[in-house]
Amino acid sequence: MAEQASAASGAGAPATPATKGTTGPLGVAPGEDPWTPAEVAEVRSGLEADRDRLVAEIATTERELQDLLRGGGDGAGNDQADVGSNSLERDSEMSLAANQRELLVQVTKALDRMESGTYGECEMCEQPIGKMRLMAFPRATLCMTCKQREERR
């Protein structure tokens, strides 16, 4: 894959193999330069930092949510505005926790794909997602063509 992209872009050298955990070179879109080990390491460390940050944020959000649920009680002694405010805050925290969990799933999946050697491969067409797309959105699992097709549905 990457060798074809290298040949298409005019580069004579084969693609540089990725760093630990990947089984071969990461694919690139036509006209893109091959991944360097430093670029792969940068993407990996960014994903690992995102994972660690999300784990900490989820723990904090879940603690805050538990506090809201414990403190909410049955609403006795609270006026309607307090009950409404608490309900809104609880719903907001629940939504935030769900979003954080979904992001964590995406980040973990990207790291797992790096380990298995399938990172950078479109899940639908199995073509390279593209270096520029992955550098901008490291959690991407679809190439631009498949993503656009999916969004039109």
Give the C-alpha separation, 59 to 61, whole Å.
Answer: 6
* Predicted TM-score (pTM) of this structure: 0.72
Which residues span the domain enclosing 8? Answer: 2-152
Walk along the chain (153 residues) and give the pLDDT tens digit of each residue.
333 333 333 333 333 333 344 445 788 888 999 999 999 999 999 999 999 999 999 999 989 888 887 875 555 556 777 677 777 888 888 898 899 999 999 999 999 999 999 999 999 999 999 999 999 999 999 999 999 999 998
Which CATH number is 96's domain given? 1.20.120.910
91 sits in the region (left: phi over 0; alpha: psi -120 to 50; else beta) called: alpha
Domain count, the chain: 1
Give the C-alpha separation, 44 to 148, whole Å.
Answer: 26
